[in-house]
Amino acid sequence: MKRRPIKLSEHFNFITLIRFTLPSIIMLVFTSVYGVVDGFFVSNFAGKAEFTAVNFIMPFLMALGSVGFMLGAGGSALIAKFLGEGNGEKANRVFSFLVYISVAVGAVLCGVGIAVIRPVARLLGADGELLDNCVLYGRIILIALPAFILQYEFQCLFATAERPKLGLYVTLASGLTNFALDALFIAVFKWGLVGAASATALGQVVGGVLPVIYFARKNGSLLRLGKCGFEGRALIKAVANGSSELLSNISMSIVGMLYNLQLMHYSGEDGVAAYGVLMYVGFVFVAVFIGYSVGVAPIVSYNYGAKAYDELKALFVKNLIVISVTALVMFGTAELLGGTISRVFVGYDEGLLSMTKRAFGFYSFSFLFAGFSIFGSSFFTALNSGLFSATISFLRALVFPVIAVFALPPILNLDGIWLSIVAAEVPAALISACLLFCNRRRFHYFDKT
């Protein structure tokens, strides 16, 4: 029996909440998984040097692509609010404008990225073969940047259109394209970094173009691409709403570069490779929290716009319960599987394997805290409060990690770098809790009844 689509306007219990957000969770997890697939094929079929290069330049590439997540998260909150207010025509105009502007911004960033990638990689400490590999891989990836930005954006907008399952199907198509081409280009044709970059770029094209085709045609969702004017005020509001997502992704990229610099100092290229494994796996685990937050955000925005404060309060409490249970599950899973995961990536090198397993033992504790700050930032974005959302993201993704990664290694050496990831998540979770508590009545998600 086919289940009916869940509407943003209905009452959500735990079952319907999980049903609605599950496609977004799987979508984000799968997006992270096919990034992991790249790492697996490069590490095992191209070599350690190529694997190090991919991890070294990836933060720069992710920083450029994060524009899509900013416009997607910020625009989603605004569009869902318009839908909650009953203004569907305005919602569609803003939706169309944001998609068109994303393509233009992506084209500009593509050109800029290709031009500056060599000096950026050199500035970060790459030279010789590492520098050449970074430039080779990065320039191929950047060709598909407009599609990558759209892919990020639609990951948020599918839930707003009440079509989260369709977003999942598009992500599966993108990921399977990347996986199949990785196997063909790297394992069969032996194209190394060129094959890895080409497979990723073509997968991103699939993920960015298919949603455009769907929304450009007549469809049964709440949104459709069409004619629009210049929506300047909506763009400013979307950028403000989504600034936390942009800030978070850029900050993570900057921090990733700083970690690589510290690792080169304390352990050389092996440290960068081990950190790459942590990041690949960490993306998958954290994607569960991000996917849930992305999935629930349109529901929050809709009810806030509709002034359905009783529903908003019930939703807030359920969210905290879901995040708490998920955090415990993520931690336990990471502790149990850390050694196995490490062996999959770097089992060919005993010294690197030992380093990676030890790092994973520390890193897994971060999952106990990360979900609360991720949810807190996304929740304020959904309430169209960019300031509080950006504050959480800025502290979690940049300030606390930078302080930790420079303060702990002089005391604890290499272990200090691994522990700094956990040390940054704890105060970020506390700040999120404080902001959520202090603003509970202002935004009516925890009014006394």
Distance from C-alpha of 412 to C-alpha of 402, rounded to nearest angstrom: 16
Give per-residue pLDDT as tens, 42-87: 888 888 788 888 878 888 898 888 888 789 888 888 998 899 888 9
Count of CB atoms situated within 10 Å of the CB of 96 = 20
11 and 315 in contact (C-beta within 8 Å)? Answer: no
The answer to the question of residue 283 being in a domain is: yes
The answer to the question of residue 296 being in a domain is: yes
Distance from C-alpha of 405 to C-alpha of 264, rounded to nearest angstrom: 13
170 and 31 in contact (C-beta within 8 Å)? Answer: no
The whole-number pLDDT of residue 4 equals 64
Q: What is the full DSSP assignment across 298-366?
A: HHHHHHHHTT-HHHHHHHHHHHHHHHHHHHHHHHHHHHHHHHHHHHHHHTT-HHHHHHHHHHHHHHGGG
Domain of residue 235, residue span? 14-438
Q: Tens of pLDDT along the chain (449 residues)?
A: 456 667 888 889 999 999 889 888 888 887 777 667 777 888 888 887 888 888 788 888 988 888 887 898 888 889 988 998 889 999 999 999 999 999 999 999 999 999 999 999 998 888 899 999 999 999 999 999 999 999 989 988 998 898 888 888 998 899 899 999 999 999 899 998 999 999 999 999 999 999 999 999 998 898 999 999 999 999 998 888 877 777 777 777 788 888 888 888 888 878 888 888 888 778 888 889 988 998 898 899 889 988 999 999 999 999 999 999 999 999 999 888 888 888 877 777 788 888 888 988 898 999 999 999 999 998 998 898 878 988 998 899 889 999 999 999 999 999 999 999 899 999 999 999 999 999 998 998 886 54
Return contacts of 54-57, CB within 8 angstroms, 24+ apart.
54/137, 54/193, 54/196, 54/276, 55/260, 55/272, 55/273, 55/275, 55/276, 55/279, 56/121, 56/124, 56/126, 56/130, 56/134, 56/260, 56/272, 57/117, 57/121, 57/126, 57/134, 57/135, 57/137, 57/138
Q: What is the pTM of this model?
A: 0.73
The answer to the question of residue 26 being in a domain is: yes
Nearest to 148 by CA among 66, 224, 77: 66
Count of CB atoms situated within 10 Å of the CB of 335 = 14
The answer to the question of residue 1 being in a domain is: no
The answer to the question of residue 443 being in a domain is: no
98 and 114 in contact (C-beta within 8 Å)? Answer: no
Q: How many domains does the chain have?
A: 1
- Per the rule left: phi > 0, alpha: psi between -120 and 50, beta: everything else, 399 is alpha
Give per-residue pLDDT as tens, 196-215: 999 999 999 999 999 999 99
Distance from C-alpha of 301 to C-alpha of 382, rounded to nearest angstrom: 5
The answer to the question of residue 5 being in a domain is: no
Q: How distant, in Å, are the alpha carbons of 73, 257, 303, 386 from that of 443?
A: 19, 37, 11, 13
385 and 393 in contact (C-beta within 8 Å)? Answer: no
Give per-residue pLDDT as tens, 405-420: 999 999 999 999 999 9
The whole-number pLDDT of residue 447 equals 64
Nearest to 317 by CA among 164, 160, 447, 429: 447
Q: Quick one: DSSP state of residue 392? A: H
The answer to the question of residue 287 being in a domain is: yes
Q: Tokens 């796996």 label which residue?
A: 281
Nearest to 196 by CA among 339, 342, 355, 57: 57
